[in-house]
Structure 1
Amino acid sequence: MKNQIEIRQAALEDLQEITSLFRDTIIHVNSKDYSEQQIKVWASGADDIKKWEDRINKFYFIIAEIENSVVGFAYLKNGNYFDGLFVHKDYQRLGIASKLMRIIESQVMMNGFEIIKSDVSITALPFFDNKYYNVIKKQKKSFKGLVFENYIVEKEF
C-alpha cells in the first residue's frame, strides 16, 4: 500500500522534525481554538530543545512516518500519562493519531495500568471523546504568563 504509516521509537536524530511538526501543528491546526498570542506562546515550546531531548530519552516516545518523513508523534510519561499527540497539518484525518493512540494505550496496559490520563486541548477534545475518553474536568492552565483552557480526560481499560 502506498503511503503506509510506519511507527517506530523516536531518536534524537528526529528532534528537528519533531519540533517543526509540533510548532506547525499548533500554528495551523490549534489556531482555530486559541488566540494568536496563545498560539505564539504555545508554539514557542518547540524551542526548548533540552525538554524535547529529555522526552525522547526518558519517555515512551513514538513517531509515525510515511515515506521516511515524520508525520506524527506521541509520548507517554510515568507509565500511564498520555503527555503528547501531534499529527502534521497536511496529514490530518488519515488515521495517524488513531494508530499512535492504539500503540500508546497498549503500552499503558503492558505497564500494568487500568487507566490512561491526559490533558487535551480544545482542538483535540472531539478526537479523544470519539475514542471513549471521559472528561474529568475542564481546567485553566498557566503557561508563560498566559492562561490556556484544556481538559483532563481519562479512559479505563
Structure 2
Amino acid sequence: MIEIREANLTDLPEITALFRNTITHINSKHYTENQIAVWASGADNEKKWKARIAKNYFIVAEQHNTIVGFAYLTQGNNLDGLFVHKDFQRQGIGAKLLRVIESQVIMTGYKEIKSDVSKTALPFFDDYYYEVEKKQLKHLKGEVFENYVIYKTL
C-alpha cells in the first residue's frame, strides 16, 4: 500500500539517496557518465533540499515506512521534480504522485502545470497527456543536458 504525505526535514536523507540512486541507475541509459555524476551530485546540496522541503509543496510516497518516491512543486504550478526509487519503477507510484501534484495545482487556482523533464521521463509524461513545448539544452557544472519543457492544461 502506497501512502502519500507531505515531506518533512527528517525525510531528507532518504529523499537525497533516492534522488542520487534513481539518476545513477535509471537515467544512465540516456545520459553520459559525466552528466550522471554532475546531476547526481545535486543530492549533496543539503541546504537547497531543506529549502525545497520547507518552502514548496513537497510530497513523498511511502511503502512500509520507506520512501519510494517524491515530487514537488515550485511557483505554484511548476513540477520541479518527480522521482521514483529504482526498485519501484512501473508500479503506479509516479502516476499516484502526479495525480496528487496535479490536484494541488488545480486547488491553488492554476489552469496549467509545467515541467522540465529528462529524456528518460518524457515517455512517462507523454502517457499522461503532457505536450512538449520545446526541446532545450541546459548547462550545469560544465555539462550540457538535453531535456524538454512540457505542459498540460488542467
The TM-score bracket by the shorter chain reads over 0.9
Instruction: Give, in angstroms, the shift of residue 106 of structure 1.
Output: 0.2
Q: How far apart in 1 are the matches of 2:34 and 2:76?
A: 33
Equivalent residue, structure 1, for 2:121: 124
- Does residue 47 in structure 1 map to residue 44 in structure 2? yes
Deviations along 1:91-136, one digit per CA (max 9) or x if unpaired, are: 0000000000000000000010000000000000000001000000
Aligned equivalent of 2:108: 111
Paired residues for 1:1-157 under 5 Å = 4-157=1-154
Identical aligned residues as a percent:
66
Q: How many Å apart are 1:77 and its aligned residue?
A: 0.5
CA distance in 1, matches of 2:21, 2:146: 20
After TM superposition, the score normalised by the length of structure 1 is 0.98
State the alpha-carbon separation in 1 of the partners of residues 46 and 151 from structure 2. 29
TM-score (norm 2): 1.00
Secondary structure at 1:148 match in 2? strand
Secondary structure at 1:151 match in 2: strand
Q: Which amino acid aligns with 1:22?
A: F
Deviation at 1:48, TM superposition (A): 0.3
Q: Distance in 1 between matches of 2:18 and 2:63?
A: 14
The number of residue pairs the alignment matches comes to: 154
CA distance in 2, matches of 1:64, 1:144: 30
Q: Tell me the CA shift for residue 145 of structure 1.
A: 1.1
Structure 1 residue runs without a partner (length 5+): none
What is the RMSD computed on CA atoms of the aligned residues?
A: 0.3
AA aligned to 1:112 is: G
Aligned-partner Cα distance in 2 for 1:63–1:146: 29
Query: What SS is found at the alignment partner of 1:117?
Result: strand
Runs of at least 4 residues of structure 1 off by over 3 A?
none
Give CA deviations for 1:64-115 in whole Å, capped at 9, x if unaligned: 0000000000000011000000000000000000000000000000010000
